Amino acid sequence: MAKQNEFKCPKCGSPVKAWADLDAQVTFTVTASGKLTKPVIANSYQTDGRCGVDCSACDWSLHHSDMQEDSIFESIANSALAAQDSIEFLSAKRQNSN
């Protein structure tokens, strides 16, 4: 196989997507009557490197743990993983509640 030097799917040539898992925890305030209110969803930093690259069109995908050391996809997978630094809280779709 020719050496991969473009950020395209090696199988079909379509654009690829970089992804990283987030670990999140939702926390509620519990009222005296047992209602869950005020959901807060916080991202808790995952350190086990769950990230990778997927094709946007076919079923090709490459998990970070399966990447060769010189894979050009490693850098974009790592960038996706690093993006979790900028995500502290996730927004919950919430109804008007007061």
Q: Is 11 in the site for Zn ion (CB under 5 A)?
A: yes
Among 30, 36, 41, 58, binds Zn ion (CB under 5 A): 58
Distances (CA, A) of 3 to 25, 75, 81: 41, 16, 25
Q: Is 43 in the site for Zn ion (CB under 5 A)?
A: no
For 31-66, strand residue ranges (E) read: 36-44, 51-55, 61-63
Q: What is the biggest distance separating any 2 CA atoms in the chain, rounded to whole angstroms? A: 65
Cβ at position 12, least distance to Zn ion in Å: 3
Q: Which stretch binds Zn ion (CB under 5 A): 2-10, 18-26, 28-36, 79-87?
A: 2-10
Which residues, in sequence order, are CB contacts of 59 under 8 Å at separation 6+? none
Q: Is 36 in the site for Zn ion (CB under 5 A)?
A: no
Residue 12 or 92 having the CB closest to Zn ion? 12
Q: Is 15 in the site for Zn ion (CB under 5 A)?
A: no
State which amino acid sits at residue 64: H
Residues that bind Zn ion (CB under 5 A): 9, 11-12, 14, 55, 57-58, 60
